[in-house]
Amino acid sequence: MKKYLISAGIILSGFYASAQVLTPVKWAYAAKKIDNNEAVVLVKATIDKGWHIYSQNVADGGPAKTALVFNKSDDYTLVNKTIEPQPLKKYEKAFDMNVTYFENTVVFQQKVKLVKDKPVIKGTISFMACSNKECLPPEDVEFSVALK
């Protein structure tokens, strides 16, 4: 009996070791007031070496683009679109097109007009991470930033 338990333990430990979840992108959030009426929300992606995420402006028919969706609120309104720095650009054979993407780190910025004092700004980031060997399924990450 003891022999079977040891064998089962070895088999299960191998199963769990191969079922590791890859998380090549870490997200951080902050907000800072510009003045009494406006603030900027900063959403930063730190991307593991060898991985990348795509720009918000990838053409249709390509990989899943990064999208920041802010929850509607009576406490603030969005000012214009979310901005991003200049992305890298390359031809990706898998998609048969040029794509724009980010490596290492990227900070997305969304300006908001403050309607109420000290709002909590919430939303969802949708993104897809790829390496030169594989792409992970698109993922959604919720965020919340309290403006003080």
In the chain, where are the structural domains located? 23-146
CA distance 104 to 126: 18
CA distance 79 to 82: 9
pTM: 0.84
Specify the pLDDT at position 1.
47
And the tokens for 57?
Answer: 């402006």
Superfamily of segment(s) 23-146: Thiol:disulfide interchange protein DsbD, N-terminal domain (2.60.40.1250)
Q: pLDDT per residue over 79-134, tens digit each?
A: 999 999 999 999 998 889 999 999 999 999 999 999 998 899 999 999 999 998 99
What string of DSSP letters covers 16-30? HHHTPPP--EEEEEE
Q: In the predicted model, is pLDDT for residue 43 greater than 70?
A: yes
CA distance 127 to 53: 7
- Determine how β-strand 129-131 pairs with β-strand 105-114: unpaired
Over residues 48-77, the mean pLDDT reads 96
Q: pLDDT per residue over 18-29, tens digit each?
A: 456 789 999 999
CA distance 91 to 85: 19
